[in-house]
Amino acid sequence: MIQQNLIKVGMADLNIATEGSVLKTTGLGSCVGLTLYDPVNKVAGMAHVMLPSSEIARESTINLAKYADTAIPELLDRMKHVGAQQNRLVAKMAGGAQMFAFSGQSDSMRIGPRNVESCLEIINKFKIPVFAQDTGGNYGRTIEFDSGSGLLLIRSVQLGIKEI
């Protein structure tokens, strides 16, 4: 999906796209790439979520895109501002890997699975159906989300290219 209308989404970042532009984020290990899409108005949104909850934030000014509980409402607001309707939105997500094996597996070391759980919980609160996901595993991903078609392209070294 090589496009001239590519909008990059960095780590702990979010953005929206319209008119066939493509959102892209790289470096999804334990992070989750969450996408929302309004198929009627062709409005797409992507958040690169690093952590499950802003309750653990140590910074004085919170980066809303960094945490699942703040990124998803912010993404929704931005999408609605350009014409998306919440009752039409569908979600897709990728990432949330357990990149390293730890003995004992304390909950604090399960960042990837906790990110996935948190994103699903918040999406469910907004009554947005999750159409597809490629989460878990122990490998990184790069994703591209097409605002014209709603297609999510997932690349990984281990599994190649997958479309959902």
pLDDT tens-digit map of 94-114: 999 998 766 555 555 689 999
Which one of the listed residues 23, 28, 31, 68 is annotated catalytic?
31
Tell me which of 29-43, 90-104, 109-123 is least confident: 90-104
Fold annotation for 6-163: 60s Ribosomal Protein L30; Chain: A; (3.30.1330)
State the DSSP code for 108.
G
Tokens standing for 109? 């070391």
Known catalytic residue: 119? no
Grouping H, G, I as helix, E, B as strand and the rest as coil, residue 116 is: helix
CA distance linking residue 21 with residue 15, whole number of Å = 11
- pTM, two decimals, is 0.92
Residue ranges per structural domain of the chain? 6-163
Query: Per-residue DSSP letters for 68-100?
Result: HHHHHHHHHHHHHHTT--GGG-EEEEEE----S
- Give pLDDT tens digits for 41-83: 999 999 999 999 999 888 888 999 999 999 999 999 999 999 9
